[in-house]
């Protein structure tokens, strides 16, 4: 597995990371914990050194899983986690409330350190921009944690270009994590140019479109009510059918490259910028190995142009999220 640096920060990670959310949150029935620890160990064996979690995944149990699984590899891997959510008043099971007050950020850091079994959090993202707290105050709180040796790097997630600039002026931002893939290309307009200018790395989550870009879904695919895709506009029967044209594009190139649609989707992302590090998630070892294989696939300039020309003519059907969640993005 090749390595990449996230912008000008000097933080070096594997070219592909591993998103761990689905191992204990979000996609229906919870997988077996021992199997997920085995999968994380397999990822390390295959050269993955970058692992992504958050306190809100579960909540808490995903950080505990990642901390337990990676304890034998302390100092050899980079763990990213996130702050910025809190239980809804009166209902601790719901974590829809944003809370990036400096005092809360510091409390979250202390708790995450314990769950992750580490002395310092490698990369600490603000999970979503909290309009009730100036971003300068958020950056200042993380700066304090960095000075105390409890955090090594500061990150943002789903933030707008203006917010990124304001935060970066207080405490250099190492990475932005936002959704980016062949069916979610909004970051290309303002975000990628801003990151390049400021020397900030980019970590695309859902680089396989929450599984859609693997080519294993069609209009007959059904989701359990406990799978959060069940409520996403892009996963309705109509949208799944309309968006198959993207799969046809990927499958055509995959066939010529002796690869899979998922590998082409990831290779395309890796080809966009040398400071982009996608974090596909999976709960299956064969998918993990398939995804990691994308790091060795090189798309030629002609192939990239072919993808660009074809994809530019495709209008993706369905929003990424329902309206209430979309409001939390791009702030």
List alpha helices for the chain, DSSP H: 33-45, 61-70, 102-116, 135-147, 161-170, 191-198, 237-242, 244-257, 261-272, 285-293, 301-312, 323-326
Q: Distance of alpha carbon 161 from its chain centroid, rounded?
A: 18
Phi, then psi, of 301 in degrees rounded to 5: -55, -35
Asked if 27 is an active-site residue, the reply is: no
Report residue 286 as tokens.
């064969």
Residues paired with residue 13 on neighbouring β-strands, in sequence order:
4
Phi, then psi, of 72 in degrees rounded to 5: -70, -10
Q: Could you say which of 27, 57, 125, 180 is catalytic?
A: 57
| DSSP H or E stretch at residue 205 | strand 201-205
CB 84 within 8 A of CB 133: no
CB 177 within 8 A of CB 157: yes
Report residue 285 as tokens.
């070892």
Under DSSP, the state recorded for 28 is: S
Catalytic residues, by residue number, are 57
């Amino acid at each position: 597995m090749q390595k990449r640096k996230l912008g000008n920060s000097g933080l070096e990670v594997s070219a592909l990371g591993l998103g761990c959310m689905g191992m204990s949150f979000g996609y229906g029935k919870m997988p077996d914990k021992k199997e997920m620890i085995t999968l994380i160990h397999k990822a390390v064996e295959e050269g993955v050194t970058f692992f992504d979690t958050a306190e809100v995944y579960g909540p808490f149990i995903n950080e505990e899983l990642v901390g337990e699984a990676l304890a034998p590899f302390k100092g050899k891997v980079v763990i990213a986690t996130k702050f910025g959510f809190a239980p809804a008043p009166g209902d601790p099971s719901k974590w829809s409330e944003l809370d990036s007050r400096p005092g809360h950020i510091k409390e979250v850091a202390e708790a995450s350190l314990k769950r992750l079994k580490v002395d310092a959090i490698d990369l600490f993202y603000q999970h979503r921009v909290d309009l009730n707290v100036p971003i300068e105050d958020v950056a200042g709180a993380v700066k304090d944690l960095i000075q105390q040796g409890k955090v090594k790097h500061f990150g943002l997630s789903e933030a707008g270009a203006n917010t990124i600039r304001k935060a970066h002026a207080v405490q250099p931002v190492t990475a932005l994590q936002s959704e980016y893939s062949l069916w979610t290309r909004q970051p290309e307009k303002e975000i990628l140019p801003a990151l390049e200018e400021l020397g900030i790395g980019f970590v695309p989550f859902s680089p396989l479109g929450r599984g859609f870009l693997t080519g294993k879904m069609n209009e007959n695919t059904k989701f359990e009510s406990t799978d959060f895709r069940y409520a996403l506009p892009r996963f309705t029967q109509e949208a799944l059918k309309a968006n198959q044209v993207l799969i046809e594009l990927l499958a055509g190139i995959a066939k010529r490259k002796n690869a899979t649609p998922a590998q082409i989707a990831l290779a395309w992302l890796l080809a966009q910028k040398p400071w982009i590090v996608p974090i596909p998630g999976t709960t299956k070892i064969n998918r993990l190995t398939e995804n990691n294989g994308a790091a060795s696939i090189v798309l030629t300039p002609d192939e990239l142009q072919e993808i660009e020309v074809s994809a530019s003519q495709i209008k993706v059907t369905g929003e990424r999220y329902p309206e209430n969640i979309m409001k939390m993005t791009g702030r």
